[in-house]
Amino acid sequence: MVKAPRVIKKGQPKGGGGTMVLGFLALFAAMILLLVSMASLVLVVFGLLPTIVAVLVDRSAQRFAFLSVFAMNFAGIFPHLLDLWMGSNSMSVAIDTLTDVFSLFTMYSSAALGWVLFAVTPPIVTTVMTFIAQRRISLLRGAQKKLLAEWGDDVSRPEPGAAESSEEIEPSAPAGEPSAPGQ
């Protein structure tokens, strides 16, 4: 099936629409959080600073870098967020958390781990895929070698009409007669 060529409009930044949607989503989440818990909002905003950086840095359509960083970053914030929700849910607890080096380290290092995963996985995948392709080639070459051994070089360059019906190759005269002498 022929895919329709993808038209990219000149001047339109890649993923511009996506950023907008993402911005609205973030704003909507922030509004909800503002209404429910101001402390949570502060914790999230400061905790997700690496994610905000990732959003700005990753201009690709799929935003895999953002997803990687965001997922890991949020995983780093969530335990503190949970402590806040399960505790007094006050601004002071949120500020204590944000001023605790260990907490900040947990949140930001998990975001860094997201970056690391994003940076390391593609080469590993490439290496694995190349290995699989080479392996396939060697299997196919082996099969070809076997065919050449059995059928000779002709198998690699079938002459025109080689695939015609076998009657074409069968000698008309001897085909009828051999049974005569042997009968």
Give the residues lining the site for other proteins (CB under 8 A): 60, 62, 64-65, 67-72, 74-75, 78-79, 82, 86, 114, 117-126, 129-130, 133, 136-137, 140-141, 143-144, 147-152, 154-156, 158, 162-163, 166, 169-178, 180-182
State the alpha helices, DSSP H only, in the chain: 16-36, 38-47, 49-57, 64-86, 91-99, 101-151, 172-176, 179-182
Closest distance to other proteins from the beta carbon of 134 (Å):
8
Based on CB atoms, which residue is closest to other proteins, 90 or 138? 138
In the bound state with other proteins, the residue whose beta carbon lies nearer, of 11 and 161, is: 161
> What is the C-alpha separation between 129 and 121, in angstroms, rounded?
12
Indicate the residue among 67 and 104 with the shorter CB distance to other proteins: 67
* Count of alpha carbons within 13 angstroms of residue 46, beta-carbon side: 18
Q: Which is nearer to other proteins, 11 or 86 (CB)?
A: 86
In the complex, least distance from residue 43 CB atom to other proteins, rounded to whole angstroms: 15
> What is the rounded distance in angstroms from the CA atom of residue 183 to the CA atom of residue 47?
98
Report CA dihedral (97, 76, 57, 95) to the nearest 10 degrees. Answer: -10
Q: State which residue, 100 or 154, has the beta carbon closest to other proteins.
A: 154
How many Å apart are CA 113 and CA 132, to the nearest integer?
28
CB of 125 to other proteins, least distance (A): 4
Least CB distance to other proteins at residue 10 (A): 23
Residue 33 contacts by C-beta under 8 Å, 6 or more apart in sequence? 40, 41, 44
Least separation in angstroms between residue 27's CB and other proteins is 22
